[in-house]
Structure 1
Amino acid sequence: MGVEGKERLRSLESGAMALSGQLGKTVQRLRKAYNLSLSELAEQSGVAKSIISQIERNETNPTLATIWRLSQALDVSIERVLATSDEEPFIDKSSKADTPILVSDDGRMRLTIIGWIKTVEWLQWYDVQADPQGFLDSDAHQRGSVECLSVLEGEFQVEVGDAIQTAKAGETLRYRCDRPHTVRCIGTEPGRAMMVCILKAAVMD
């Protein structure tokens, strides 16, 4: 690894440690604000007491699922738990080369993944670009998930089971995606849309 690569690695590690440190402080502050012991928070969240203790001492990097369970028990949004303090702002930038693109089986629909890796288990979003008649067949996501398709250009059609609906530029379709579904660019013009998938972890019953 060259000097530049080592510097970048040190920078990433430093940033990860800063975020981890803030996370531990946030969990501990919220727990104490609710006058909860480690055992009580463990019981309410389903996260082991030892894991919570390690998080507060910044001795582990918890999964997003663990953070989500703690946020539910502490009655705060996951964004607040993950947020850095006002004294530690950050701006994250992904280059075009580092942004993955998914291509449909017919090769006529492309989904650029612009969502944040930290939210992938509960929130995903994509920039959708499609050739005329391009389509994307998707398997069912986890039960209770919802997808939103906001059309920017052209016209799209969504099919879920026996339900079929279309939308033009400026319109949005919202639909259950916990069953097989198809998104299609209809008409003779190319289409573009913003797709947001809200997984069960973020959808309240």
Structure 2
Amino acid sequence: MQQISRALRRERERAGLSLSELAKQAGIAKSTLSQLEAGNGNPSVETLWSLAVALGVPFSRVVDPQPRPVRVIRSGSGPTFGSDHASFTSTMLSVCPPGARRDLHLITVEPGPARIAEPHIPGTVEHLIVTNGRMLAGPVREQVELAAGDYACFPGDLEHSYTALLPGSSGVLVMEYG
């Protein structure tokens, strides 16, 4: 949480926004943003995406994991963010290094309500490889059914969703920012 706190404050100040301005643009309460910048709270993936979009930065810039020359993330560890609306988690595997514009996530999805993702920053493209189970994924009106080993590429700057069709569904998601 301290990394997120530092990253949010850094990116808000870089953008020249007040707490009130950023909270309004992200559609969250000013008190929520204040708590997050103070290192308190447990933000959902939706809250962090909203802040990243409002700041005009890749998701990884608001979670700010520290890079290392050799980095291993053991299964079940790493910075993980859950959804408020679906059985969906995202674990940040690799962040966008300076000069690059991509993030790498491991996602897990369980049957139930779809994880509806609001549009990300303009030019975002998502690359999804299903590693286990079956999912319905893609732009809200153009979802495709994917099985283990299938790959799909779709615009991330449109509203899109992820729905598990089998328990234990998972995949690798590459966020490519335009």
Which TM-score bucket, shorter chain as reference? 0.5 to 0.7
Aligned equivalents of 1:104, 1:120: Cα separation in 2 = 29
Q: Residues 41-120 of structure 1 correspond to what in structure 2 (within 5 A)?
A: 90-93=69-72, 99-116=78-95, 118=97
Identify which of structures 1 and 2 has the higher relative contact order when contacts are C-alpha pairs closer than 8 Å and 6+ apart: 2
3-state secondary structure, aligned to 2:97: helix
3-state secondary structure, aligned to 1:118: coil
Query: 2:125 matched to 1:128?
Result: no
Aligned equivalents of 2:174, 2:70: Cα separation in 1 = 22
Query: 2:157 matched to 1:178?
Result: yes
Aligned equivalents of 1:197, 1:184: Cα separation in 2 = 18
3-state secondary structure, aligned to 1:111: strand
Task: Judge conservation of contact 1:104–1:135 (CA < 8 Å) in 2.
Answer: no
Query: Residues 94 and 102 (structure 1 numbering): CA distance in 2 closer, same or farther, change over 3 Å?
Result: same
Query: Residues 134 and 111 (structure 1 numbering): CA distance in 2 closer, same or farther, change over 3 Å?
Result: farther
Query: 2:143 matched to 1:164?
Result: yes
Letter in 1 for 2:170: R
Query: Residues 169 and 163 (structure 1 numbering): CA distance in 2 closer, same or farther, change over 3 Å?
Result: same
Shift of residue 95, structure 1, vs aligned partner = 7.1
Shift of residue 156, structure 1, vs aligned partner = 0.6
> Which residue among 168, 175, 192 is the counterpart of 2:170?
192
Q: TM-score, normalised by structure 1?
A: 0.47
User: How many residues are paired up?
Assistant: 112
Shift of residue 98, structure 1, vs aligned partner = 7.5
Aligned equivalents of 1:98, 1:118: Cα separation in 2 = 21
Query: 2:117 matched to 1:138?
Result: yes
Shift of residue 173, structure 1, vs aligned partner = 1.1
Aligned equivalents of 1:186, 1:107: Cα separation in 2 = 13
Q: Which has the higher helix share?
A: 1
Q: What runs of 5+ residues in structure 1 fail to find an aligned partner?
A: 1-64, 66-89, 201-205
Aligned equivalents of 1:162, 1:96: Cα separation in 2 = 33
The structure having more radius of gyration, on CA atoms, is 1
Deviating 4+ runs (over 3 angstroms): 92-98
Identity %: 15
Shift of residue 140, structure 1, vs aligned partner = 0.8
Query: Residues 130 and 102 (structure 1 numbering): CA distance in 2 closer, same or farther, change over 3 Å?
Result: same
Letter in 2 for 1:138: A
Query: Residues 165 and 94 (structure 1 numbering): CA distance in 2 closer, same or farther, change over 3 Å?
Result: closer
Please name the residue that 1:203 is paired with: none
Shift of residue 106, structure 1, vs aligned partner = 3.0
Query: Residues 102 and 163 (structure 1 numbering): CA distance in 2 closer, same or farther, change over 3 Å?
Result: same
Aligned equivalents of 1:191, 1:97: Cα separation in 2 = 15
Aligned equivalents of 2:109, 2:98: Cα separation in 1 = 25
Q: What runs of 5+ residues in structure 2 fail to find an aligned partner?
A: 1-56, 58-68
